Amino acid sequence: MSNRVTSLPTEPPPFFRRGLSPFARLTIFGLASVVLMFIDGQFKTLETVRRAVATALYPAQQAALWPAQAVQAIGEFFDSRAALRSENERLKAELLIASQVAQAARAAQAELAQLRALTDVARSTAGAQRSRVLFPSRDPFSQKVFIDRAGHDFEAGVAVIDERGLLGQVTRVHPLLAEVTLVTEKEFAVPVKVERTGMRAILFGRGPGKAPELRFVPTSADLRAGDVLLTSGIDGVYPANVHVATVETPRRDPESVFVTVEATPVAGLTSASHVLVLPRQTPLPPMPAAETDPPRKQDARRRQ
Amino acid sequence: MALFQFPAAPAFDIARPEDILLPPRAWFVAFTLGLAFILNLMPLTGLWLALRPDFFAIVLLYWCIHHPRWIGVGVAWLCGLLTDVAEANLFGQHALAYTLLGFSAEYFHRRVLRFPLWHQALHVLTILLATQLVVLVLRLMSGASLPSLIFLLSSVSSALIWPVASMLLQWPQRVRSLTD
């Protein structure tokens, strides 16, 4: 009997080396992830990488959309004739109203053009681009949709509306698609005014499943349920007078100096299929240097 | 010899660790991962999204458990990065979560494979829940508000498809010429 092999080797011979141990790899890749998160969160320098990967993923995303589109196409095919007819009648009635409104608008626009020519304001909302919503974000923590950017040209920061009101803001653009952050995203701020009274306030999103709220509204403010909130247009991002939300019943808490005002967004945040991307508004004039002015609140754009 | 008998496995059980299988082809591994990724990109929202199994994680977990020397922590990390870009969230959060997934798969693979499929699914459920909790903690740390916790249902549905996924993924590696 050989006495050489008395104990089993505790380590595999080098012949069977398997590289780094799982623990070492866990540490290395875990640290790499943490560093990436830190860089992405603090410096925003990974946008080029993100853009390149997102562009490469575009075909895969289109492929994933295909089943949904097929189901939709089949559904449309089997739409009943009656449904189409009733819709047609409804649309005709709406067209009648719309044409009336359009006529009034045409007169108003002519008047506006004259006024503009008089004041020489080079501001217009022409140049808005129509895009379609490709898919919502699958992240349960955030409120985003992706819209088509192929053939369009817009930058991050521009406002996005649908036929009912403000949807949100383009926060990231890739060559073929763009990311729109919805008004319900947490800490997403929109400067608004109340249509009825003209009072200005800022609407803050509060995350998925919660209605955005108006912050820092004094208890004395004249606000009622059903009040319409429009963009105030003082921020240079959103054009003025876009419908944003409708106020719910304000809640006055005796312990607080502010009223709790929730507002329901009017745009089809989850249902919009076509959206309008508005051009960037003209930049604000520089702040006056004089100290005599009352301190003005700086434009409350998106805080990230 | 037979000191310990394994409990009778369901009829649709997959191969035991001692059974001989053909090695998987690299293109098949890549193809299944790609297909699972595309399945994950389906445009779902709300409850449907919460009920959708994380196909990518399941396929990744299958390869990590069955072939830890090929597909391990590194591939899992890359898959996590892809998911981060596709879902437009913080770079690295899924990378970290999937790294942990790859590690736990590698660490437990001998143990997991000893069990019948439904018991394996329980192990898988634990790993997937841990992965989702990592993402949850990271998002809460980066300032997101707590979403409704039904999104954790995704782990349950993923674990439920584990037996089927295992059988499908093992199909091409089975030796079919053995007839007796």
Q: Which two tokens stand for residue A89?
A: 């009648």
Enter the pTM of the model.
Answer: 0.67
CB within 8 Å: A37 and B106: no
Q: What is the least distance, in Å, from the CA of B99 to any CA of chain A?
A: 6
Query: Could you tell me if residue B180 is inside a domain?
Result: no
Query: Could you tell me if residue B8 is inside a domain?
Result: no
Residue with more model confidence, B158 or A304: B158
Which of A20, A27, A28, A29 should be substituted to probe chain B, the one whose Cβ sees the most B Cβ atoms within 10 Å? A29
Burial string for A165-196 (b: 16+ CB within 10 Å, else e) reads: bbbbbbbbbbebbbbbbbbbbbebbbbbbbee
Give the closest of B76, B91, B106 to A37, CB-based.
B91
Asked if the C-beta of A68 comes within 8 angstroms of chain B's C-beta atoms, the answer is: yes
Size of interface A-B (CB pairs under 8 A): 136
> Please, what is the average pLDDT of chain A?
80
**Do A294 and A229 touch, CB atoms closer than 8 A?**
no
Q: Does residue B16 come out as left (phi exceeding 0), alpha (psi in the -120 to 50 range) or beta? A: beta
pLDDT tier at A164, thresholds 50, 70, 90: confident
At how many degrees (to 10) do helices B55-66 and B117-141 cross?
Answer: 120
Give the closest of A36, A134, A186 to B91, CB-based.
A36
Average pLDDT over residues A94-110: 83
Q: Is B48 helix (H, G, I), strand (E, B) or coil?
A: helix
ipTM of the predicted structure? 0.75
Average pLDDT over residues A79-105: 84
Average pLDDT over residues A41-47: 76
**Do A143 and A182 touch, CB atoms closer than 8 A?**
yes
Average pLDDT over residues A102-112: 81
Q: Among residues 264-283 of chain A, which lie with CB inside 8 Å of chain B?
A: 270
Asked if the C-beta of A290 comes within 8 angstroms of chain B's C-beta atoms, the answer is: no
Amino acid making up residue A304:
Q
Q: Among residues B77, B4, B54, B50, which one has the least CA distance to residue B147?
A: B50
Asked if the C-beta of B96 comes within 8 angstroms of chain A's C-beta atoms, the answer is: yes
Q: Which two tokens stand for residue A98?
A: 């719309």
pLDDT at position A60 over 90: no
Amino acid making up residue A118:
L
Amino acid making up residue A148:
D
Q: How many domains does chain B have?
A: 1
Give the domain range for residue B88: 26-171
CB within 8 Å: A186 and B145: yes
pLDDT at position A12 over 60: no
Long-range contacts, B79-86 (Cβ 8 Å, 24+) = B79/B33, B79/B37, B80/A33, B81/A36, B81/A53, B82/A53, B82/A57, B82/B37, B83/B37, B83/B40, B83/B56, B85/A50, B85/A53, B85/A54, B85/A57, B86/A54, B86/A57, B86/A60, B86/A61, B86/A138, B86/B37, B86/B40, B86/B41
Q: Does residue B89 come out as left (phi exceeding 0), alpha (psi in the -120 to 50 range) or beta? A: beta
Each residue's pLDDT expressed in tens, for chain B with a length of 180 residues: 455 555 444 445 667 666 777 788 888 999 999 999 988 888 777 788 888 899 999 999 999 998 888 888 999 999 998 888 887 778 888 999 999 999 999 888 888 888 888 899 999 999 999 999 998 998 888 877 777 788 889 999 999 999 999 988 888 887 665 444
pLDDT tier at A247, thresholds 50, 70, 90: very high
**Do A179 and A186 touch, CB atoms closer than 8 A?**
no
Query: Could you tell me if residue B178 is inside a domain?
Result: no
CB within 8 Å: B145 and A46: no
Q: Which two tokens stand for residue A110?
A: 């002519």
Which pLDDT value is given to residue B129?
94
Query: Could you tell me if residue B10 is inside a domain?
Result: no
CB within 8 Å: B147 and A68: no
Asked if the C-beta of A50 comes within 8 angstroms of chain B's C-beta atoms, the answer is: yes
pLDDT tier at A135, thresholds 50, 70, 90: confident
Residue with more model confidence, A18 or A91: A91
Which pLDDT value is given to residue A97?
85
Average pLDDT over residues A174-180: 89
Average pLDDT over residues A90-115: 82
Specify the CATH number for the domain of residue B164: 1.10.1760
Burial class (CB in 10 A: 0-12, 13-18, 19+), A144: buried
Residue of chain B whose alpha carbon sits nearest to that of A27: B99
Average pLDDT over residues A169-176: 88
User: What does the pLDDT look like over A194-218, one tens digit per residue?
Assistant: 988 889 999 999 988 889 999 888 8
